């Protein structure tokens, strides 16, 4: 049975774990506070889930999702992720992460920073543009008429194929936004970030049931994102 490793088990990580178990995958969860803090979540998820250290989750996963605050990305263990597909859910929030000049100047992206740190891995940006409640609510079986799409970006074609396989298993179609640098098209403050999945844009995310969004709508939102100014 295939295994999803999670480095970070907060709102997005916990939601992905639930979707993975529902899809018949094994799940290895980890966080910065230690496996002993994940007992309640593991008990909720059942026998296909276990808690471990980040390094152990990295070693166990056929896919590994990194879902930690960007300010902590240098703490991700690099050696056990060499040769693996790593899905990065991160976004840059200066109020949380502190100012990162290269991101403020749009010289690079948060996922490219992670790729630099994980030089032996193949990073794919995914799951970062959707509220975790909508991620859980909108998952649908393959072929469902109301299936939603999520954008992905990455430099390695094989890794993107692996990401598509995971998204499909968890209940979503994938829209290829291009290389990792194009992850800027679905980061915060872009048309593809969060808003497409809102049923009622006047309501807070945590009060909104979500709405299905097909691949065409996500492609349109990606196209509407502005490129950074040259120089």
For 36-57, the pLDDT digits (tens) are: 999 999 999 999 999 999 999 9
Query: CA of 140: how far to CAs of 32, 57, 148, 197, 218, in Å?
Result: 31, 26, 8, 14, 17
The answer to whether residue 171 sits within a structural domain is yes
Give residue 231's Cα distance to chain centre: 29
pLDDT digits (tens, 9 = 90+) for 176-212: 999 999 999 999 999 999 999 999 989 999 999 999 9
Domain count, the chain: 1
Is position 183 within any domain?
Answer: yes
Q: Which residues of 168-186 are buried (b: 16+ CB within 10 A; e: fewer)?
A: ebbbbbbbbbeebbbbbbb
Beta bridge partners of 89: none
pLDDT of residue 127: 98
Is residue 51, in this structure, part of any structural domain at all? yes
Antiparallel, parallel or unpaired: β 173-176 and 149-154: parallel
pLDDT at position 1 is 81
Query: Can you give the CATH number for the domain in which 103 is found?
Result: 3.40.50.720
Residue 79, in any domain of the structure: yes
Domain for residue 231, yes or no? no
The HSE-up count of residue 224 (CA atoms within 13 Å, CB side) is: 12
> CA of 156: how far to CAs of 89, 123, 152, 165, in Å?
17, 8, 12, 15
- Dihedrals φ, ψ of 161, to 5°? -60, -40
The verdict on residue 80 lying in a domain is yes
Residue 180 lies in a domain: yes
196 in a domain, yes or no? yes
Residue numbers of the domain that contains 217:
3-224
Percentage of the residues of the chain whose pLDDT score is greater than 90:
97
What's the predicted TM-score (pTM) here?
Answer: 0.94
pLDDT tens string, the chain, 231 residues long: the values are: 899 999 999 999 999 999 999 999 999 999 999 999 999 999 999 999 999 999 999 999 999 999 999 999 999 999 999 999 999 999 999 999 999 999 999 999 999 999 999 999 999 999 999 999 999 999 999 999 999 999 999 999 999 999 999 999 999 999 999 999 999 999 999 999 999 999 998 999 999 999 999 999 999 999 999 755 443
Sign (positive or negative) of CA dihedral 42, 137, 173, 67 = negative
Which residue pairs from 43-47 have beta carbons closer than 8 angstroms and sit at least 24 positions apart in sequence? 45/17, 45/18, 45/21, 46/21
């Amino acid at each position: 049975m295939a295994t999803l490793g999670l480095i970070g088990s907060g709102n997005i990580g916990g939601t992905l774990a639930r979707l993975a178990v529902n899809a018949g995958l094994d799940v290895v969860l980890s966080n910065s506070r230690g496996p002993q803090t994940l007992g309640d979540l593991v008990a909720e998820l059942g026998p296909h889930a276990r808690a471990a250290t980040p390094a152990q989750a990295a070693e166990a996963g056929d896919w590994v999702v990194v879902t930690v605050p960007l300010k902590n990305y240098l703490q991700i263990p690099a050696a056990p992720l060499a040769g693996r597909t790593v899905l990065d859910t991160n976004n840059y929030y200066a109020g949380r992460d502190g100012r990162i000049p290269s991101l403020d100047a749009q010289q690079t992206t948060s996922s490219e920073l992670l790729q630099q740190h994980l030089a032996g891995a193949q990073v794919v940006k995914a799951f970062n543009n959707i509220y975790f409640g909508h991620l859980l609510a909108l998952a649908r079986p393959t072929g469902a008429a109301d299936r939603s799409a999520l954008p992905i970006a990455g430099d390695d074609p094989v890794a993107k194929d692996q990401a598509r396989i995971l998204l499909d298993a968890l209940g979503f179609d994938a829209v290829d936004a291009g290389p990792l640098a194009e992850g800027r098209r679905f980061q915060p403050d872009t048309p593809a970030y969060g808003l497409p999945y809102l049923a009622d844009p006047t309501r807070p995310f945590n009060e909104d049931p979500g709405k299905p969004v097909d691949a065409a709508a996500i492609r349109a939102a990606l196209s509407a994102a502005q490129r950074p100014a040259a120089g």
